[in-house]
Amino acid sequence: MEQATLGGGCFWCLEAVFLDMIGVTKVQSGYAGGHLANPSYEEVCGKKTGHAEVVQITFDPAKIAFRDILMVFFAIHDPTTKDRQGADIGPQYRSIILTHGSEQGAEAQSVIAEITAARLWSNPIVTEIAPLTKFWLAEAEHQNYFARNPWSGYCQAVVAPKLAKFRKNFSSLLKA
């Protein structure tokens, strides 16, 4: 098993998508990329910890490649907006890939170069790539959020459309 740690806006959106992906065995919402030990949701939302909302994905590389995870990641969020995803604004919502080794870093650079060359986005990609130093697990109420709250306003307006986009555009990567 391998891990990937990604931030692309609210962690609830990424978690819902990656839980549906073949080869993924676990997705945990949390915080990374900051300077405060064991931050709380309120501290991260206070924009002073440096952390991003992220998901840590455990996957079987024999069933799904890190590259495929990145392709989905870049399709379900806007990697061209600094510290923002839609109405969610702040450094905690930045686009970031926190790598688990130099191979992931090289693969992330390669995917960004490919997406840039294909002009899939009209603006430059601003996704940060940095080595993961520490992942802090988010509070229990943030785990498996969409599955537990599918009818909440935020889930209906923001999470559900991203999940639908993934299911439509990446049907070959859906769990059975």
Catalytic residue positions, numbered:
10
Assess contact for 167 and 174: CB atoms under 8 A: yes
Q: Where are the alpha helices (DSSP H) in the chain?
A: 11-19, 41-45, 66-76, 102-118, 145-148, 153-154, 160-169
Q: Beta strands 128-131 and 95-99: pairing type?
A: parallel
Tokens linked to 139 = 């509070």
- Which SS3 state, helix, strand or coil, does residue 24 take? strand
Distance CA 159, CA 150 (A): 9
Position 6: which residue type? L
